[in-house]
Every structure is written in C-alpha cells, then in structure tokens.
C-alpha cells in the first residue's frame, strides 16, 4: 500500500459512537446480507444496522472521520468535497459564511461554513482548536497529536513521522480490540468497514500500541479450529464455540440434516460479510440428485450483493465448481476449478484457498490451480448457504449433513 493510500485510509476512517437501539430506523431493512446502512440526519454520521446474536435488528450511530461525510451510494465515508449529502443535512445549512465549529475526533480540526457547505480545516502541528481562542498553541495542560485531513499538511506530517526514529504516539483510530478475543482485532478499511485481523502466533493485540505487541507463551502450534461448524443436530445453530449468528430461511432441520427445497430456502451467515483473510477452507457433506438438474445450483456463495464474490461452490449435472475471487488493488480475478461428478449422490467436498493456491476436493479426487494473483476479495455480502440470488443458477435442492468453515490452512 502506498503512503498516499495509507493517508487516505486514516483520513476516511470511522469512529464508533456509543451503541443504542435504532429499531424504527432499521426495521425496514431485510438485512439478508448481514448488515445495512441508513443515512443519518447529519452529513458526517450514518447508521449501521445488523442482527445481534439473538437475531434482533439493532443499530448504532457511526461518526465519520474528520474531513469526511457519509455517501449512501458508496456505503462509506468520503471526502466532504465529493459528498452527495443533501444540502439541508449539512450543519452549515442556512448559516453565514465564516461560521466555525469544532471537529469531532480530531483536536486540530474545525469546520468553516462557506455558502452552506462545511469545509474542513486544520490547525498547524503544535496547535489545537479551541472554540474560544481558535488555533491555540499546545501547552503543558493540553495534548494534541492528531494527524489531520488537510491537503499538503497531512501528507508532509505523514512523511515526517515515518522518517523519525522517535515519535509521539499517535491516537489509534483505525483499529480496535475485540472483547474476549485477545489474539484478534478489527481494522477499519475504506469502503469495507471494520474487518477482522488475526495476530501472529504468540502475540496479542494491545490497544495502546495499536498493534499486536503483547507476547504470550506458546508451547506448541495452535490447532486450526473452525470459525463455523453446523452439524445440524436438532437446530441450525453454530457449534464452533464462536457463537456466530445463522439466519434460517425455510430450511428444515430433521434427523441431523438440513433440508433445502430448491425454491425459497437458505441459511445466511453475516459473520463473513467483509471478511478479510489470506486463507479460507470450506468443507461440506451433502446429498443431491445432480443427474436431474436442469440448471446449475448453488451450494454456497457470497455473490448475492451484485458487487463481486470471494467464494462460490456450485454444481450441475457434470461437475462441482469451486471459485474464489481475488483482487490486486482495482483489478479483479475470478478463479475456478472443477471436478467431475460421480455416480454417488452423497458427496464430501472441500474448497481451500491458501497462499495463491486454490484446491477443490470431491471425495478422494482433487484438483489444484496455482499462482493465483492477488488476495482473497473482501465483499460487502454475507455468506449464503444454498443461494446466489440467481448469479450462479438456481437454489440448492438437497440435504446438507455438515458444514465447516476455517480461516486457517
């Protein structure tokens, strides 16, 4: 990532405010892909809607980073200069030119009204913005180390801090700890939102350091454990121990099997919305009458949002298809391997993507595609079991005995 990309990622980051129920605002959203976003009455805020662990629709107000405003079209915070926020929602609407207000989340930042628009400005390094005195020199009673969204000033400061051997610790606004999971953290990525990141083995995340710096004792390599485990023992709940929410739409759980009718049934797993991982492994044991198919059917997919996909498994009368989507910056690649169907309707399959290698398995057969360019694509879409919204073909008709997902080899 270039320095400029890092600068923009920091500047466009979002700072989460205190969570509160917003049922009325979020109730009209289907949330079929895990999360939804609603424009807030203020240009520099938005509402993120999601389902909690009990399936209840809740929402939180999010504050865009200083110098940015919410774009409902792009579903991210963008520079205020290119924002399409309605004029009446701008805090400078009907205020006189030159009216000034303090920024949120940046001690050097302030907004100046100009013809009804809010224009971001920054005090020089070594100063902070005071609502009474304006840009004021930092003294012993104040501390202000914020980097600022301010054209050349921010770029110069970023270059300077990367070249200094000793720096003042900067506030950590693009990363946050995950309660109860010390070896992981979340990082805010522009246009993707908050995504999960694992620490290296033997390290834990420290918020004050904004990095995985806490050394922990590791006597032996940690076993690769499931992120999702659905054995379908009387219910559709995740049994991995991670307590991931799984939404059931017309799937019948019976005798240790999940029965899909091929018409309107699917399972939706929001956990994998915007997932960022270098490795993914999916294992499925299922039964289907592939010989009677008249079109391809989707076993699982995250292509339902019309913005690309990262993983798809599908089948037709002749083969099972394994696809991963990767990208290098703005260039996207779709990579597919296939294995011929056998006479058996009972199938054990697996898709694995690790270090540029895609592997598909069907029973004892295996096919491999190497040297795949780029990293696994992160898409704003939940993982759908049994459906791809018509992108790959029809919905899945058959029975799934077990499904496991890993984010490790």
> How do residues 351-375 score in pLDDT, each as one tens digit?
999 989 999 999 999 999 999 988 8
pLDDT at residue 236, rounded to an integer: 92
How distant, in Å, are the alpha carbons of 138, 174, 176, 193, 256 from that of 14? Answer: 26, 8, 11, 8, 43
Closest to 313 (Cα-Cα) out of 206, 391, 376: 391
Q: Contact 250/358 with Cβ under 8 angstroms?
A: no
Closest to 101 (Cα-Cα) out of 119, 116, 86: 119
Query: What are the phi and psi torsion angles at 254 (to 5°)?
Result: -155, 130
Query: What are the phi and psi torsion angles at 111 (to 5°)?
Result: -115, 140
Rounded Cα gap, residues 111 and 98, in angstroms: 9
| Structure tokens given for 290 | 């592939």
DSSP type of residue 372: -
Q: Find tokens 């360019």 and name the residue.
A: 373
| Structure tokens given for 5 | 């990309």
Closest to 387 (Cα-Cα) out of 266, 221, 282: 266
What is the Cα 74 distance to its own chain's centre? 14
pLDDT tens, residue order, the chain (409 aa): 343 333 333 333 333 333 345 667 777 766 655 667 788 888 888 887 776 656 677 777 878 878 888 887 777 777 788 878 888 888 898 899 999 999 887 888 899 999 988 999 999 888 889 989 999 988 876 778 777 754 344 444 334 433 333 344 456 777 888 876 787 788 776 555 676 677 755 678 888 878 877 766 544 445 789 999 999 998 999 999 887 888 899 999 999 999 999 999 999 988 777 666 778 999 999 999 999 999 999 999 988 776 678 999 999 999 999 999 998 877 888 999 999 999 999 999 999 999 899 999 999 999 999 999 888 887 878 899 999 887 778 999 999 999 999 988 7
pLDDT at residue 205, rounded to an integer: 84
Kindly give the pairing relationship between strand 100-102 and strand 109-114: antiparallel
Residues 6+ away with beta carbon under 8 Å from 181: none
Q: Contact 327/377 with Cβ under 8 angstroms?
A: yes
Long-range pairs for 77-82 at CB < 8 Å and ≥24 separation? 77/12, 77/13, 77/14, 77/44, 77/46, 77/190, 78/12, 79/11, 79/12, 79/149, 80/43, 80/44, 80/117, 80/118, 80/119, 80/120
Rounded Cα gap, residues 331 and 396, in angstroms: 31
Residues in the chain, overall count: 409
pLDDT at residue 216, rounded to an integer: 63
**CA distance from start to end of the chain:** 25
pLDDT at residue 200, rounded to an integer: 59
What is the Cα 336 distance to its own chain's centre? 23
Q: Which residues pair with 196 in a beta bridge?
A: 186
Closest to 242 (Cα-Cα) out of 19, 405, 20, 379: 405
pLDDT at residue 261, rounded to an integer: 96
pLDDT at residue 152, rounded to an integer: 46
Q: Contact 76/136 with Cβ under 8 angstroms?
A: no
How distant, in Å, are the alpha carbons of 34, 313, 386 from that of 262? Answer: 22, 15, 8
């Amino acid at each position: 990532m270039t320095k400029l990309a890092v600068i923009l990622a920091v500047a466009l980051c979002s700072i989460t405010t205190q969570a509160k129920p917003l049922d009325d605002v979020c109730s009209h959203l289907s949330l079929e892909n895990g999360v939804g976003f609603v424009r807030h009455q203020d240009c520099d805020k938005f509402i993120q809607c999601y389902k909690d662990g009990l399936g209840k629709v809740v929402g939180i107000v999010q504050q865009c980073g200083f110098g940015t405003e919410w774009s409902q079209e792009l579903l991210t915070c963008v520079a205020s200069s290119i924002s399409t926020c309605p004029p009446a929602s701008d805090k400078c609407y009907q205020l006189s030119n030159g009216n000034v207000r303090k920024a949120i989340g940046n001690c050097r930042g302030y907004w100046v009204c100009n013809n009804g628009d809010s224009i971001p400005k920054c005090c020089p390094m070594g100063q902070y913005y005071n609502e009474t005195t304006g840009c004021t020199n930092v003294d012993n009673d104040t501390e202000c180390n914020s980097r600022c969204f301010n054209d050349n000033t921010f770029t110069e400061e970023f270059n300077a801090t990367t070249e200094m051997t000793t720096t003042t610790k900067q506030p950590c606004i693009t990363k946050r700890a995950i309660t109860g999971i010390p070896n992981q953290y979340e990082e805010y990525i522009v246009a993707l939102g908050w995504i999960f990141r694992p620490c290296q083995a033997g390290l834990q995340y420290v918020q004050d350091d904004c990095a995985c710096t806490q050394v922990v004792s590791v006597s032996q390599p940690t076993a690769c454990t499931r992120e999702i485990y659905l054995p379908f023992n009387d219910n559709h709940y995740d049994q991995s121990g991670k307590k991931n929410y799984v939404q059931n739409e017309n799937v019948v759980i019976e005798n240790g099997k999940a029965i899909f009718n091929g018409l309107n049934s699917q399972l939706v797993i929001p956990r994998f919305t915007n997932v960022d991982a270098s490795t993914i492994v999916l294992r499925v044991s299922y039964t289907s009458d592939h010989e009677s198919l008249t079109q391809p059917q989707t076993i699982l997919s995250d292509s339902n949002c019309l913005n690309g996909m990262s993983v798809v498994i599908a089948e037709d009368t002749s083969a099972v298809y394994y696809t991963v989507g990767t990208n290098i910056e703005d260039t996207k690649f779709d990579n597919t391997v296939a294995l011929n169907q056998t006479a058996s309707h009972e199938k054990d399959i697996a898709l694995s993507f690790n270090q540029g290698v895609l592997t598909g398995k069907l029973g004892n057969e295996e096919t491999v595609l190497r040297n795949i360019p780029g990293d696994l694509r992160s898409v704003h879409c939940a993982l759908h079991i049994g459906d791809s919204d018509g992108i790959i073909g029809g919905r899945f008709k058959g029975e799934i005995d077990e499904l496991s997902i890993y984010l490790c080899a």
